[in-house]
Structure formats: structure tokens, C-alpha cells
Structure 1
Amino acid sequence: MLYTGKTLSLQALDHGQMELVLDAQGAAVNALNSVMVTELRAAVQLLEQVGGVTGLLVSSAKPAFVVGADVTEFQAFFALPDAGLTQWLLDTQAVFSQLESLPFPTVAMVNGLALGGGFELALACDLRVLNAKGKVGLPEVTLGLCPGWGGTVRLSRLAGVETALAWAVTGKPAAAAQALAQGAVDRVAAEGQLRETALALLQAASAGDVDYRAKRQQKQASVTITADALSAAHASQTARLDRHYPAPWQIADMLCQHAHLPFADALRAEAECFTLLARTDAASSLLGLFFNDQVLKKKTRAWGKQAAPVKQSAVLGAGIMGGGVAYQSALFGIPMLMKDINGAALDLGSKTIQQLLDRQVQKGTMTAEKKAAVLAAVKPTLDYSDFAAVDLVVEAVVENPAIKQRVLQEIEGLVAEDAVLTSNTSTISITSLAEGLARPAQFCGMHFFNPVPQMPLVEIIRGALSSDATIARAVAYADAIGKAPIVVNDCPGFLVNRILFPYFNGFNRLLKDGVDFQRIDKVMEAFGWPMGPAYLADVVGLDTMVHADEVMQAGFPERMGHDGETVIEALVSAGCLGQKNGKGFYEYGVDERGKRFKRPTALAQTLNAVTDARVTSDQDIIDRMMIPLCTEAVRCLDDGIVETAAEVDMGLILGLGFPRFRGGALRYLDTLGLSAFAGRVSAHAVHGALYTLPAGVQARLASASSFY
């Protein structure tokens, strides 16, 4: 062994070849951190001094090559002034260029994933061999950043500007066949033959049978592309970009600008673009979401360590939610009994599952064999004959407390004594549902969001008597079926709906004041929401909205109470349920040409009674919508509904589609500044208790602290 560090080692092979093995001690994966960069510099300097070397193989002892840069170090480097941050990037670029300039060929043997900084390291090698199931890519854009260690420069020169633009702007990793076809890798190795293929390529390069020097020259030369072609490539990748996310735009501009620059200038342009993006609010928010996601995963793993596994699950109710839960469980290999009292409902639930699977097969994302396995894992049933073996039950019957309690009491006596019962309620108190159960400690809430296959969040609601073992099993089950669980203490609306409905209360008050619901939708969509409140209410179901609003009014009458009938209540009274029956704030249908339409209903416009729109500014609309949501988010944290600000914000991101570039309600407050937010709240205090500053904000202002 010529060199041994904490993250890599250098050892001799046959025929004068050397191998640089990436293997971060005490870590499950390799991530490019400052220690690895320092040790890489030392190893390369050693290689420059050792005589007789004919080639270098760069490999990984982990299941993946390198998963990317160590993002946990970014906070310290981002605290540097612009010049210092750019210099950090240039210093790492210099190490990669030093590797690239070694007087013999280098081959990256890429197993599994090489993403971000890991792929940039592989690009600095002369040649790349990727295993057949591996993927490579530049996902930095998902964090609001761009590659900073030469990724866009080398890839644009190897694979072309069009390919580099597509990879860097979308952040999507490329599978082996695509990477090979587009010139990002030089060989794809069959299963079990990666090392053999990589060594053979290294030997061929050492012998002169593969011109590795031509590869170096190609990477370091400017790109040959016409101005028209460059402009067309830029337009193609930016046509549908969201202006709220500056990184894709900056990447496209930067990459097209450096295409004709000398190599060193192009590298600097990339580093300066990274520094520019690092200062944006979007990058701060998206990085915050990355760290928040790590918080959730850490908590989920901790619960999982104390959980008894779920080997057989069951769902009561084969409707939209029950069928979705059955599909999700079976998809991830946990058999599911789907119970209903109605044969037609079971048939509909089974048909829904079949349709979900058929769509995946048609898209090519699922094989016919996998589809058959999922279908076989769901057993529709009208009775409880097989329930003795069930480990966890999800009750998903109608949202009626009396019916839910009766069903839960019935099933409790038919399952094993250690089985866990859960309720997929969105509004009903878990503590109250537990009344009458013989084993209330083994009961909790599991609030799935609709549509279940698409929505990642599951709220695990702890009732007053729910045990840790019960919560652990529910968390572990949600995780096992591909969902993101957040543990929430019982309260009206739980976490997400408790925060959402003050937002709708603000909406109701705006309508009462004569602000056009179509305008509100446009303003809030421009703010970043995927849909405005009127459209969202239609999607949720206006009857569901009224029911949930009643729960919130009962739970928090001072803030959530309102005088008189709301527009939503009036629409429901007139039989308008939203998308459920095609009429709500908007009317939904298909025109004579077969094209779907959405247009405002005459009744909603009449009920809205719009006054002069100039009285209220767009910013006033935003404030009157967002202040109630944000203040309730603060109260949820300070009331202990969840433990951390990360869970509050991730609940809103995963459960509501809160604008990701804003990072969640509490991140939004930090970005805005608590003092500025307090001023906005004060300006709207005339609108009542919904617009009061929580004690938690006042305390943080007094201590000059923030949520993160």
C-alpha cells in the first residue's frame, strides 16, 4: 500500500498499474468532502513522483462510486465571502485537473452511482467504465446550485452542449445505455464484469490501443458549435422553466457562455456561477429541504429500530383511499387484505388497482411479472376470516366517528393481541376514536393523503394512549411502503390540515371582502403554489372543506370562527362539490373537441360579489393568505404537535405542495425576517384574531433567534 488515508488508499497492481480506492472509513457511502479532496491531492502528488507507472484505475469499495459532494460541509463554505467561496471551488478544480494531467492514462471504474461531485471526479479521468445498472449525472440543480468542479465544462466537451444542458438543467441521472450513447462514458460492463472491463480498457490505453490523450484534448478544447445551434439548445432547455428557480436559468446561460471559452476560463465561469447561486434564497431553501429530509429519515430509522415488522396488512374500506393504501402496500411487497361490506366496492377497488398497474406497464416502468405479483398480494374479502394473521390494520371507512368507532371495536376482537389498529382519518380525534377500545395503546392514526400513490406524506398521529411500540410499527410500515412518515400529536386537523385551514379562512375572508377568487388563484399560483385556493378547494371537495372547517372552528373558535355563510358553504348548499361532481368554483368538463376545460361557474361569481379590485394589492392578498398559515405553523411547533421545525416544513412540502423554493412556512419566515413578518401581521390586525402574532414569534424576536 503506497498511501492510506481516511477516505482513500493507493495500491500497486500488475504491469505497473496503480489503483486509487475510494473508501470513506465509517461511512456507508463515499461523499466528496474536504478530507477526501485533501487526500486525493496527496495521492496524485505521490503518483507524479513515482516512476514506472503505466496507468491508474480509480475505483470504489462502496456499493456506489461517489454519491456526490458532502452537502453537510456547504454551510461553512457558504459563510465565506464570494472570493473565498469561489477559491474553494477553484482549489478542488485544481486537484481534478492535476489528476487529469498525470503522465499516464486514468480510468474511472464506476459502480452504482456517480452523481454530482462524484461524476465530476469520474469526468476528470481519461476514460469511464460504468456497470450496466449504474447511473451518472449532475443533480446539483435540485439544490438550487450548479456543478462547481468542472462538470458542465468537461461534459459539454465530451458529450456536446445539448447533452450537457439537458443533464445539468434537469438534474436527472442517466442510465448506462444513455450515458454510453451520448459519450459521457466509454464502456458499459455487463453484470459481474466491471473490474475486468475497466482493467482491460486501462491496459489498452497504456498500450496505445486506445488514445486517451485525444480524450484529454477533447475535454480541454472549446466546443465547436454555431451561434444558432447554441441559441436553439438554450431555448430548448429553458422553454418551460419556472422563474422561481434561478439555478436552471443560470446553468443554461453559463454553459452556453463558456462553450467557446478556453478551458481554464470555462472552469472559472462555472465556479463563479456556483457562487452566484449559493447566495440565492432558492438555494438556501432547497438545501434546507435536503437537511430537513435527513432529519425525517433519521427519525424514521430510529423508530424502525424498535418496531416489530409488518408481514401482513389489512385495509377496511375499498374506496379511493382504501384501494390506494392496498395498492401501495402490495407494490412494496407487503400482502394486503382489502375488506369491504359491499362486493361492488371491492370490485371497484380491485379495478382501480388494476388501472394503476396497467398505466405503469404501458409506460414501461413496470413489468408484466411485477404487475401480476402486486395483484396477487391484494386479497379482496367480504369477511374477516383471514384477519388472525394481520399485523397492522388501516381503517379507511367513511369519515364518521360513530361508524369508525364501531368498525374499530369490531376488528379489535378479530386480530392478534399484538396487532396495531390505525385510522386513516383526516379530521377526527384519535384520542376520541380510541374510546371503547380494549387496547387503546395499540391504536394510532395513519393519515394518508389523496391520491395515495402520488402523495408521499403519511401523518402518524399519536393519541393520548398510543404506545411507543404502536407508533414505531406504524412509522416502520409507512416507510416500508415507500411513504415519508411524520409523527404528530393529536389535535384538531393534526399538522397539515391544522395549518392549511387558516389559509382557507383567510381565503374566505378575502371573498367576503369582494376580492375575485380567480384573481386570488392567479396571485397565489404566481407566489409559487401549484394551484390557487379556489381550485384546490374544488380538488379536495367542497363538502370535505366544509366538514374540516367545522372541526377547526370547534377546535380553535377564536381564530377559526367566522360570521355568516361562506362562499364555500353556499356552493355546497347548492349542490356544488367541486371536481367530485364537476361544479364548484370552477366547472369541469370536456368540450366538443374532446379537450378538457376549467371555467368559473356563474354561481361562484355571483356569490363572490367582486368589488373594485384596485382596493387590494397583490401583496395584500399574499399576506392575508400566508399570515394565517404561517402563524398556525408556528403554533404547531410551539404547541409540540411535532418536535422540530423540519417536520413542520416537510409536512407542508410533502402534504400540501408548499412551494419548494420557499422551503416551508418556517423557512419562509426566516427568509422574510421575523421583524418584517411581525410588521405585516400588525398591518393586518384589523382583520381579527386570525391575524395575531404568536408568542413563539415574539419570543424569537426578543432573543434575536430564528427557526433554523
Structure 2
Amino acid sequence: MYSGDYLRLGHIEGKSGLISLDICKKESSVNSVDTAFLQELEAVCDLLESDQAVRGLLITSAKSAFVVGADIFQFPPLFNGPLEAFESWVVRAHGIFNRLENLPYPSVCAINGLALGGGLELALLADARVVAEGAKLGLPEVTLGLCPGWGGTVRASRLAGVQPALELMLSGKPVSGEKALELGLADRCVADSELWVAGLELLDNLVTGALDFRALRARKHDIRAEACNQEALEQALAAYLKPNYPAAQKILSLVLAHASLPFESALEAERRSFVTLGRTDCAKSLVGLFINDQSVKGAAKRAAKAANPVQMAAVLGAGIMGGGIAYQAAVTGTPVLLKDIRQEALDLGVDTASKALDKLIAKGHMDDAGKRDCLGLIEPMLEFKGFDTVGLVVEAVVENEKIKHAVLTETESHLKPEAILTSNTSTISITSLAEGLQRPENFCGMHFFNPVPMMPLVEVIRGAKSSDVAIATAVDCALKMGKTPIVVNDCPGFLVNRVLFPYFNAFNRLLHDGVDFQRIDRVMEGFGWPMGPAYLADVIGLDTMVHADQVLQAGYPQRMGHDDRPIIEELLDKGALGQKNGRGFYDYANGPRNKSASPDALSLSERAARQVEISDQQIIDRMMIPLCLESYLCLDEGVVGSAAEVDMGLIMGIGFPKFRGGALRYIDHLGLNEFAAKVDALADLGPLYRLPESFRTRAQSGRNFF
């Protein structure tokens, strides 16, 4: 009857009058909904409405998942284009969905695999649903700063009830087939192998009148009789209502408002909310992050194609970082040799891995047997035994160039010629570390972030002599460890630390202007950072901060030098290390969660050379401009290959606020000309606040980063 790129429509063999609509997106491993899908669905509706012989419709998927959701790549042009075009697109989608729902005969949807977002909204159009036990159903739009926009808020809340539907939408987490049945989103739950038969049986019952399909359809259209106390509901759902993320509050208000409205009015309210949220910077940022994530992972997979497969890895230095890297290799199935020169260090490394595995057990992701198997893949040693079988080595010893040189040179002599040697340095030049190696082409950087099990980013640093094979192999290993690698060209600080330390430089200038560090923390946390700069410095460690800052000063003396001695250096002189010894900007005598301002930091603030009156917005501008300008320079100088890699590096590496999308998208949201004006207004503060001419040219030409 119909065969397109997304949909197939045909008669069910041996079942007179029964039709199957098979979702079968060609040239894709999954089904998703986009404008082309809607066009085909519209054509299918024309056929289904005109064929008088049809008595029932079974909606299925030809792939391992039903429909994974909307095609997110279609959203940016809609969000950024003319409002009228966006509104028309949503209205048209609703019209097509309503036609499928209102066919003059019954319909059943058989749900396998994933039915998320627009996929679940499509499934809810059917009069009844059979779901496989292994299926996952969800409405995760809130994670993109959106509400369900194709009728999901209305149909889900009328089938499941207001509060259960809100919990589904506000958490964004999918539920199992059994839970979907319990919520009323499905009518039957069966074994995966029985899905087709069960769906056909249910459709037969609807066609013959054994079940009343009109009564089932009416469930989605009837006004909910339940009364909801908004204040009580907000308290019950408070964990989902986050500042700076407007979608959750909008979903809550929307569902409460349309629960008492007629069906069409409720759909109209949803359309308005979807369009409103789609125009927000938050939604544009979160959708952009999704797209950037796909872009970065795609670039990594392409880069990994030239890799030499690694069957065995090794880690040098068995401290917390080395133990974390060894854990990450083992937990993803790669055997790893863990070497140190001290037994107590080996014990710490293995203990670090063991504790990380215990966390998996506590979450139900692993059992004791799995832990034993995983630890069995880590072989601690004090010698270089077996290093001639290793495909890749990660050096993770102390951040000292002379020590790293010595360790790398010695290690290379124990490796097979084709093995790849990498350094986990966070600041030291990879080109410099390669000096003295016999095979510098087989050497590159592989910078993990602490704590390794939690931090998704790995910077793979290309030195002057690093070969494509070395980079590809490091990228491939990072991917196999479940990490997101970004290839960075060698420069002081690489990407993440190079961008981060101008931010701390700005922090130091504010301190010397008499601005209270606790106020700066509050303002920047209000801006969206998970922790303010003083608290972050304590978490990183003040000794580590001073070392990295000195590397950046040496690398970029004009821009990153200090007019006043860094306050962090003065605290370090007093023996403060931050959380490492319980004393930094804050005192941690009562634990990290009960910090209070330390006497040392307060006394330093009181001795500030200047007392400048400053607004919260000025604090934000003075903190963010150096970070954003350095992000731009990393792109402009080719340190990384794309704006997406810059922003994803900051999101994954230092916790840049997700709802702002990254430094370059933040500039886009402000507008390049407005950002340039902010920079020019602070030019008297020195080179850290000087706009590169290439940026000014870009702004004048109207070229956004995204």
C-alpha cells in the first residue's frame, strides 16, 4: 500500500482488513521523527482515511527500538528562525498526529526497545498499547530544556494521572514496560518474543468489539477529575525544579493548567509552552550540547580508525590518579599492569580501584563476583615485568618534568617498538617531554581528569612529533574506557587548564580590589557554576593551583601575568592546601559539606590594597570575559578543531554551566557585538581584557560560533 524511507504500510497476512504500519527509517540503525517522517505520516493518513476496507491498524517498528525520539538536529533552525514558521511547524505536527489518533477504526501500538520523547508521543496516539518487558518508555524533553511538544503532556497525564505523569516528565528518566503498564501508559506487557502476537490479538479484540476502542480512546480526551494542590505538588516534586532550568517549572504549570481544559484547548496550551521554551537560551544551549556531543564523539570515532588495537595497557604511578585510570581500563574490559616503585603506592592504587567498584555494587550495577573479576584484570607490580606485551602506557607520576622525563625514558626501553607511550600531565609540554625519547612519534599526551571514574573528558595532546597512529590509538583507548576524548594541539595548559586559569587570574584581581571571596563564590554559583572559584581552588588543591598558574604565566607572560601576587600563593605560604589538609579559602574541620571561611583567607581579604565598589554583574563580567576570550583564542589558534570541542571540553572538564552551553555559545547568546562592547569597557584592566582583532572582524561580519 505504501513504502517510503520511514514508513511501510501493508496488509497483515491472513487478517482481512487489518493493516500494519511499520516504522523503518532507512539508512539508520534507529527510528526518529523529523519533518520528512511527518510528511510520510501525512501521506499514510491520506491512505488510511480513504480505504474503506480497513478495519484496524497495528503500529510496529522494524528495528530493535520503537522510536528513540525526535531528530534533535532539526531543532536549531526552528528555534532560531522566524517565530511564525516554528509555530506553524508545531501546529502541523499536531494536526498529523491527531489524524492518526482519530481514524474511524481501532489502532494498537506494539512497543519494543526504546520509545522516548516523540516516539512515546507517537505510541500514545494508538487506542491501546502492548509493551515488551524489555522496553523503556520515557519523556526526556526536560533534559533539553523543553516540554513534550506533540501531545505528550496531555495524553500522558490523562492516562497515568497528573502526578505520576509529572514525575515521568520532570525526571526525564525512562520506565520499564511493567512500570508503564502500572502507570496506565500501556494496556499489556508481554515477553519481547510475544510482542507481535499479543499486539495482533489485542487489535482483534478491538475490531470484533470484545473491547470498546472508543472507550479506550476517550481516556486520553476526558478531563481529569482529580484535584491537585499546586503548593503540595511543588513540594513533592521540588527535586526536579532547578533554578536556571525553566522547563521543569513550565511543565508543572502547564499540566496543572490543562488538566481541567477540554482536549483541544489542552493541546493548544502545550503547543504554546513548547514554542516558548524552544526560544529560550537554555533550550538552545542544551539542544546545542546534545548536537556538540554527537559531533565530538563522531570526530573521535573517525580519529580512532587508524588506531593499533590495544589488548593490554599499563599505568605508571599508582596513586589516586593512576589507580583511577587502571580502574577505568579494567572496568571496561582491558587488562592493565599497574606499576610503581613503592608498595604503599600500589596498595593505594588498588584501593582506589576497589572503592570505585564498591560504588558500582552499591548502585546495583555490579556484584561481588564482578568486582573480583575486575580487580583480577589489574596486575600491580614493582618491576617492568610484562611491559613488552603492552600496547599503550599511561604515565601518571608526580607533575614534575624531570621525574617524568626519567620515567618515560626508562619505560620506553621496556616496550615493544610499536607500543604507544602517553603522559597524563595536566600542564607540561608534550613536545618537551618527548625530547630524549627514541621514538617520539609514538608519544602523546593523555590527560585524564580527577576523579577519573566520574569525569568523562580525556584530552589527547598532539606533540610536535606525535604520529597519527599514536593519536588514534590514544583516542581509541579513551573511547574503549567509556570516555570522551578531544584531540588538542600542544600548548601551555592544553585546552581546559589554559582556559581555566585566566578565570582564576580574574578572581585574584577581584580579591586585590577588596571583593570578598565568599561573595564572588555566591555570585558565580548563582551564574550557574557548580562551585565558586575559591571553593574550586580548594577542591583542586592550592599547591596544584600555584604550579599550574606558574606554567600558564610562563607560557603567556603578557596576558596571564599578575599585577599583584596571587592570594593563593600567600595561602600556600601559610601551609594551606585546600581540602587536602582541611584548610584553604575555607576551613573544612567539620567536613567539606560544612565549610566556613578560614581565618587565613579572611585576613588576606582584609589586607586588600584597594576597595572597589562593584556590582554582581560586574563580578560576572570580570570573571567570564578572560575565560571566554581564552576559549576563543584556543579556537582561533587551532588548538582544537571546532567550537563544539571547545565548549564540550569546558562542560566536561570544568563544569561550565550546561544551561549556558559553553563559553562560545555564551558569547553567541550575548551577541558578539555586545560581548565585544563588554570587553572594550574593561580594557583598562590589562591584556587579559583586550579583544583580539580577529574577534572584532568576526563580530562585524556577524559570524556566530554556532
TM-score by length of 2: 0.97
Counterpart of 1:61, as a letter, is A
Counterpart of 1:3, as a letter, is Y
Partner of 1:47: 48
Counterpart of 1:120, as a letter, is E
* Residue of 597, 600, 603 corresponding to 2:600: 603
Deviation for aligned residue 1:468: 0.7
Q: Distance in 2 between matches of 1:164 and 1:157?
A: 8
Q: Among the aligned pairs, what percent are the same residue?
A: 54
Q: Distance in 1 between matches of 2:574 and 2:85?
A: 64
Change (3 A) 1:367 1:48: farther
Partner of 1:327: 327
Q: Distance in 2 between matches of 1:59 and 1:370?
A: 37
Residues 634 and 696 of structure 1 are in contact (CA less than 8 Å); yes or no, is this contact kept in structure 2? no
Partner of 2:9: 10
Residues 132 and 189 of structure 2 are in contact (CA less than 8 Å); yes or no, is this contact kept in structure 1? yes
Deviation track 1:643-666 (CA, whole Å, cap 9, x = no partner) reads 111111111011010011111111
Gaps of 5+ in 2: none
Q: Distance in 1 between matches of 2:62 and 2:345?
A: 52
Deviation track 1:34-92 (CA, whole Å, cap 9, x = no partner) reads 12112112212212232343422211112211111112222333355434322321221
Counterpart of 2:681, as a letter, is A
Change (3 A) 1:613 1:360: farther
Deviation for aligned residue 1:281: 1.1
Deviation track 1:14-46 (CA, whole Å, cap 9, x = no partner) reads 322221111111122111011211211221221
Q: Distance in 2 between matches of 1:469 and 1:363?
A: 38
Partner of 1:399: 399
Q: Distance in 2 between matches of 1:684 and 1:32?
A: 47
Residues 161 and 233 of structure 1 are in contact (CA less than 8 Å); yes or no, is this contact kept in structure 2? no
SS of the equivalent of 2:600 reads helix
Change (3 A) 1:589 1:208: farther
Q: Distance in 2 between matches of 1:241 and 1:39?
A: 37
Change (3 A) 1:255 1:642: same
Deviation track 1:313-361 (CA, whole Å, cap 9, x = no partner) reads 1111111111111111111111111111111221222122222212221
Residues 509 and 564 of structure 2 are in contact (CA less than 8 Å); yes or no, is this contact kept in structure 1? no
Counterpart of 2:626, as a letter, is P
Partner of 1:71: 72
Counterpart of 2:145, as a letter, is G
Deviation track 1:97-155 (CA, whole Å, cap 9, x = no partner) reads 22112233222222211111111001111222222222111111111111110011000
Change (3 A) 1:416 1:211: farther
Matches within 5 A, 1:557-596: 557-590=557-590, 596=593
Residues 67 and 114 of structure 1 are in contact (CA less than 8 Å); yes or no, is this contact kept in structure 2? yes
Partner of 1:659: 657
Residues 234 and 256 of structure 1 are in contact (CA less than 8 Å); yes or no, is this contact kept in structure 2? no
Partner of 1:684: 682
Partner of 2:21: 20
SS of the equivalent of 1:441 reads helix
- 2:517 is the counterpart of 1:517: yes
Q: Distance in 1 between matches of 2:203 and 2:318?
A: 58
Gaps of 5+ in 1: none
Q: Distance in 2 between matches of 1:493 and 1:168?
A: 41
Change (3 A) 1:581 1:200: same
Q: Distance in 2 between matches of 1:359 and 1:638?
A: 41
Residues 112 and 192 of structure 2 are in contact (CA less than 8 Å); yes or no, is this contact kept in structure 1? no
Residues 15 and 54 of structure 1 are in contact (CA less than 8 Å); yes or no, is this contact kept in structure 2? no
Counterpart of 2:622, as a letter, is R
Partner of 1:295: 295
Counterpart of 1:346, as a letter, is L
Change (3 A) 1:80 1:705: closer
Residues 511 and 608 of structure 1 are in contact (CA less than 8 Å); yes or no, is this contact kept in structure 2? yes
Partner of 1:630: 628
Q: Distance in 2 between matches of 1:237 and 1:446?
A: 42
TM-score by length of 1: 0.96
**Corresponding pairs, count:** 703
Counterpart of 1:474, as a letter, is A
Deviation track 1:434-476 (CA, whole Å, cap 9, x = no partner) reads 1111111111001001111111110000000001111111111
Deviation for aligned residue 1:237: 2.1
Partner of 1:168: 169
Matches within 5 A, 1:191-202: 191-202=192-203
Q: Distance in 2 between matches of 1:203 and 1:354?
A: 55
Deviates more, 1:129-138 or 1:19-28: 129-138
Change (3 A) 1:560 1:80: closer
Deviates more, 1:338-347 or 1:391-400: 338-347
Deviation for aligned residue 1:600: 0.5
Matches within 5 A, 1:439-458: 439-458=439-458
Partner of 1:360: 360
Deviates more, 1:28-37 or 1:612-621: 612-621
Q: Distance in 1 between matches of 2:373 and 2:43?
A: 52
Residues 589 and 596 of structure 1 are in contact (CA less than 8 Å); yes or no, is this contact kept in structure 2? no
Deviates more, 1:641-650 or 1:239-248: 239-248
Q: Distance in 2 between matches of 1:641 and 1:80?
A: 32
Q: Distance in 2 between matches of 1:133 and 1:519?
A: 50
SS of the equivalent of 2:22 reads strand
Residues 109 and 130 of structure 1 are in contact (CA less than 8 Å); yes or no, is this contact kept in structure 2? yes
Residues 635 and 696 of structure 1 are in contact (CA less than 8 Å); yes or no, is this contact kept in structure 2? no
Partner of 2:184: 183
Deviates more, 1:109-118 or 1:123-132: 123-132
Q: Distance in 1 between matches of 2:131 and 2:625?
A: 51
Q: Distance in 2 between matches of 1:65 and 1:634?
A: 41
Change (3 A) 1:495 1:335: same
Residues 524 and 622 of structure 1 are in contact (CA less than 8 Å); yes or no, is this contact kept in structure 2? yes
Matches within 5 A, 1:39-188: 39-188=40-189
Deviates more, 1:450-459 or 1:95-104: 95-104
Matches within 5 A, 1:527-538: 527-538=527-538
Partner of 2:375: 375
Q: Distance in 2 between matches of 1:196 and 1:419?
A: 54
Q: Distance in 2 between matches of 1:561 and 1:95?
A: 61
Change (3 A) 1:493 1:410: same
Residues 634 and 694 of structure 1 are in contact (CA less than 8 Å); yes or no, is this contact kept in structure 2? no
Q: Distance in 2 between matches of 1:344 and 1:191?
A: 51
Q: Distance in 2 between matches of 1:137 and 1:19?
A: 24
Q: Distance in 1 between matches of 2:46 and 2:620?
A: 57
Residues 585 and 601 of structure 1 are in contact (CA less than 8 Å); yes or no, is this contact kept in structure 2? yes
SS of the equivalent of 1:124 reads coil
Deviation for aligned residue 1:294: 1.8
Partner of 1:696: 694
Partner of 1:619: 617
Residues 447 and 458 of structure 2 are in contact (CA less than 8 Å); yes or no, is this contact kept in structure 1? yes
Q: Distance in 2 between matches of 1:144 and 1:642?
A: 28
Residues 679 and 689 of structure 2 are in contact (CA less than 8 Å); yes or no, is this contact kept in structure 1? yes
Q: Distance in 2 between matches of 1:306 and 1:202?
A: 51
Residues 513 and 612 of structure 2 are in contact (CA less than 8 Å); yes or no, is this contact kept in structure 1? no
Partner of 1:34: 35
Counterpart of 2:269, as a letter, is A
Change (3 A) 1:334 1:210: farther
Q: Distance in 2 between matches of 1:223 and 1:192?
A: 35
Change (3 A) 1:67 1:515: same
Deviation for aligned residue 1:614: 7.3
Residues 587 and 598 of structure 2 are in contact (CA less than 8 Å); yes or no, is this contact kept in structure 1? yes
Change (3 A) 1:212 1:652: same
Counterpart of 1:69, as a letter, is A
Counterpart of 1:405, as a letter, is H
- 2:642 is the counterpart of 1:644: yes
Q: Distance in 2 between matches of 1:634 and 1:290?
A: 21
Partner of 2:546: 546
Counterpart of 1:496, as a letter, is V
